[in-house]
Amino acid sequence: MLKTFLQSGPIPKPTLDDSGGLLDIPQFLLCQELSPILVYAPPIVPFVEYASCYWGKHMGKRKTKRATQLALLLLAGYEEHIASRLLLLHYYGYKGWQDPHSKRFMPKGFTGLHGAAFHGIGEIVAALLATKEWSINGRDHMGQAALSWAVIGGHEDAVKILLELGAIDPNPADIEYGRTPLWWAAQRGDKGIVKLLLEREGANPNTADTKHGRTPLWWAAQRGDKGIVELLLEREDINPNTADTEYGRTPPWWAALRGDKEIVELLLEREVTNPNTADTKHGRTPLWSAAECGHEGIVRMLLEREGANPNTADTKHGRTPLWWAAQRGDKEIVELLLERKDINPNTADTKYGRTPLWLAAGRGHEGTIKLLWEREDINPNAADTLYGRIPLSLAVERGYEGIVRMLLEREDLNPDILSPSGETALDLAAFRGHAGIVQLLSQPWPSLPILIDTGKAANIGQNTLPHGNSLNSSKKSTTHSSNRGKQPKKHRGAPT
C-alpha cells in the first residue's frame, strides 16, 4: 500500500485544515514503515518531527472525527511508531553528542496510553481505557506511568479522568530520580492538579526525589506558592521539616529566605515545625536568613516561637542574626533580637572578629548603636582581629561625630586604646581633620590605662595627650609633628 501511495504523485503537505492535529493519511502511511529507532526523520516526511511533538496540542484546539480516528490508529501501535521516538528525543533534549540508543530516548513501554496522557487529550485517554486493553499503571522505559505524563504536561482534565479509576496508583515514581506525580505538580506550581492528587486516597505528600531529597512541600515553599503550601499542610501526615539532601534546606528555611511571611506563618502553625534547622552548607537557620535579608515580620514570628535560638552563627564566618541586623542597620530587627534575654550582643564573626557594635560604628548606624548601648553587657572596647581597631576608632576615622559622642557616654569605654600603629582616637581625629571630634575627645575623662600591644599600661591624667603632651601645650606631639608637611598616611579601611 505504501509503494502504491508513493507512486501516485507528489506527497501532499500536512495541514490542519481537516485533521486539527497534524495527522493526515499521507504522513501516517509514510511513517508506518519507518524504523522506530531513527534519530531524525528522512526528507520524504519533512514535517513529521514537528507533528510528532505537537499534534496533541493542535488537536486540543480543534477536534474532528477524522483526527480522532487517526489519533486512535496512531496510538494503537505507538510503541513501534517513529512518532513516539521523536517525541521522547525532543522531550529529553537529545543532543548530537549523546547516545541516541540510551534508555531514556527509546520508546519501549511508551504505549498509546502514555502518549495520549502526554498530549493531554482527555477524550482519547478515556476511549483507550474503555477498551480495557491498556494497563492504567503500566510503566514506560523510565518508570513513568500515564498519570505521571499527564501531570508533567499540566493536563488537569486527563489527570482527573485517570484518578477517577479506582485501580490507579497515585504514587508512581520514575526510576531516574524517584519523582512522583505530586512532586511534579508541586514543582510546576499546578494547584488544581495538587488538589486532585491530595484528594486521592493513598497519595503520599512526603515522597522526596532520590537525587536531592526534595519533597512537594519543599518545592512549594521554594517557589513561594502559598496556595499549594496550604493544600499540603491540610494533610495531618505532612512533614514540614524534611530537608533536601543537597544542602539541608527545609521549607521554613526557604520561606524565611524568600520573605514569604504568610508561608512562614502557615508552617509555624504546625507544632512540629523546627525553627532552628540550619542548612548543611553554611549552617544558616531560618532566623539567620530572615535577619540577613531584613525580613522584620518573619524575624518577629520566629522569635515568638518557643525554642527559637537567636544566637546561632553560620559555620562559614560565625555571623549571628544580630551581626547581620547591625551590619544592615535594621533598627527594628536589632530591637527585636535585643529583647531576648538570652541574646549575646558581643558575638564576633570568626573571619575578622567584628562585633555588632563594631559594624554599626563603622557604618554610621546611630540608631543601632543606641539600642546596643542600652545593654549593660555590651563590650565597647572589642577590637577586630584584622587591624585591631575598636568601634571608637572606626567612628573617628569616618567622621561620625554623633556616634563618637554616643560612645563616649559609656564609662567603660577607653578612648586611649592604642591602635597597632600606636595611635589613639584623638591622634586619628586630629590626623583626619575632624575638628568636632577632636573637641569631643579633648574633654576631661576619668583616668584610664592606655592599653598597648606589649601588654604594659600607663595611666594618663585628665586633659593629657599620649606622648606626655598637655592639650593646652603649644608643643605638638611626636605623632603629629612627624607628619608635618606630608600628605596624611592612608589608613586601611575595614572590610565591608
Is-contact 245 213, C-beta < 8 A? yes
What does each of the 496 residues of the chain score in pLDDT, given as a tens digit?
333 433 444 434 444 443 434 455 445 555 665 666 666 666 656 677 888 888 888 887 777 788 788 888 888 888 888 888 888 888 887 655 556 666 665 678 899 999 999 999 998 999 888 887 888 999 998 999 999 999 999 999 999 999 998 789 999 999 999 999 999 999 999 999 999 999 998 999 999 999 999 999 999 999 999 999 999 999 999 999 999 999 999 999 999 999 999 999 999 999 999 999 999 999 999 999 999 999 999 999 999 998 999 999 999 999 999 999 999 999 999 999 999 999 999 999 999 999 999 999 999 999 999 999 999 999 999 999 999 999 999 999 999 999 999 999 988 999 888 888 888 999 999 999 999 999 999 887 554 444 444 333 333 333 333 333 333 333 333 333 333 233 334 443 444 4
Q: Are 159 and 147 in contact (CB under 8 A)?
A: yes
Check residue 34 and give its pLDDT. Answer: 62
Backbone angles phi, psi at 449, to 5 degrees: -75, 140
pLDDT of residue 467: 33
Q: Tell whether pTM > 0.75.
A: yes
Residue 131's pLDDT is 82
Give the residue ranges of DSSP H helices in 294-400. 296-304, 321-328, 331-338, 356-363, 366-373, 391-397
Cβ neighbours of residue 151 closer than 8 Å, sequence gap 6 or more: 159, 181, 184, 185, 188, 190, 193, 197
Measured CA to CA, the distance from residue 59 to residue 152 in angstroms comes to 19
The DSSP output letter for 320 is -
Sign for the pseudo-dihedral over CA of 22, 26, 32, 33: negative
Give the whole-angstrom CA distance, residue 459 versus residue 448: 6
Instruction: Quote the pLDDT of residue 81.
Output: 84
Q: What is the DSSP string of 390-435?
A: -HHHHHHHTT-HHHHHHHTT-TT--TTPPPTTS--HHHHHHHHT-H
Q: What is the pLDDT of residue 193?
A: 98
pLDDT tens for each residue of 373-388: 999 999 999 999 999 9
Task: Pull the grid cell for residue 444.
Answer: 576631661
Angle between helices 331-338 and 321-328 (to 10 degrees): 150
